[in-house]
Structure 1
């Protein structure tokens, strides 16, 4: 099955802060933009930050493997090498993690490296990596 890029549009309070976070910190190349939105290339996927100064992300969490996972959230499943490089870059830049880089479900089906953090507008992001990508959709 051929994988195609996904598209996600989400609200941000400040386009300059979004540009710094997604462009400078996460290393996303910028595509088209206007005074109300910016396209970013997030590991080959199109995400679009839309200006909405009134948007308030929900402050909901769900318990997963002993952690309070923010919901909703988005991100990308990376290779282990990509995940480690991103975790190191974020740590070096002093990123405040919601869930620091860790391995979840250790020794179980779906074992994965994961980390959660927020963008400047409060949108939650998760980046994860599996030692075995076949575990992505593995069932108990």
Structure 2
């Protein structure tokens, strides 16, 4: 499967804390930057953190129930290979990251079974990371 890289720009009200989080906690490679924004290589995609006043969704997250968990909305993330997901989950645990939804297997034994975890960056942006043992299940009903 060949995909084009996406570009996502998100608001951060503390550029230094967000930069540390994405560069040092996640280990993302930094690209171009200025006093007010920073590009990151987000698993082959372009993530840009932009300095911006705190937004409503960063202060009070809305949630929707999915598989017995309250999933924060909005959120973004990426589908990783299973071993990458496991490595990332361990890395985040080692860094003492507090999860909104701890790493677990969602829809276990059902169509669309997947590994998932949710967390917030230091500025309240919700992230989800998931993996499928069978990537063909990504859009399965």
Answering whether residue 136 of structure 2 is matched by residue 125 of structure 1, we say no
Structure 2 residue matching 1:121: 3-state secondary structure: coil
Deviation of the 1:35 alpha carbon: 0.8
Deviation of the 1:18 alpha carbon: 1.0
Query: What aligned pairs does 1:99-118 form with structure 2 within 5 A after superposition?
Result: 99-118=101-120
Match of 1:68 in 2: 70
Distance 1:2 1:135 in 2: 17
Distance 1:6 1:23 in 2: 19
Deviation of the 1:131 alpha carbon: 0.6
Aligned residues between the structures? 139
- My pick for the range that moved more, 50-59 or 28-37, is 50-59
Structure 2 residue matching 1:76: 3-state secondary structure: strand
Deviation of the 1:56 alpha carbon: 3.4
Distance 1:79 1:2 in 2: 14
Residue deviations 1:82-105 (CA, integer Å, cap 9, x gap): 000000011111110000000000
Residue deviations 1:88-140 (CA, integer Å, cap 9, x gap): 0111111100000000000000000000000000000000000100000111x
| Cα RMSD for the two superposed structures | 1.0
Q: TM-score, normalised by structure 2?
A: 0.95
Distance 1:87 1:54 in 2: 27
Match of 1:37 in 2: 37
- Structure 1: stretches of 5+ with no match in the other structure: none
Runs of 4+ in structure 1 off by over 6 angstroms are: none
Deviation of the 1:55 alpha carbon: 2.6
Distance 1:26 1:74 in 2: 15
Pick from 76, 79, 87 the counterpart of residue 77 of structure 1. Answer: 79
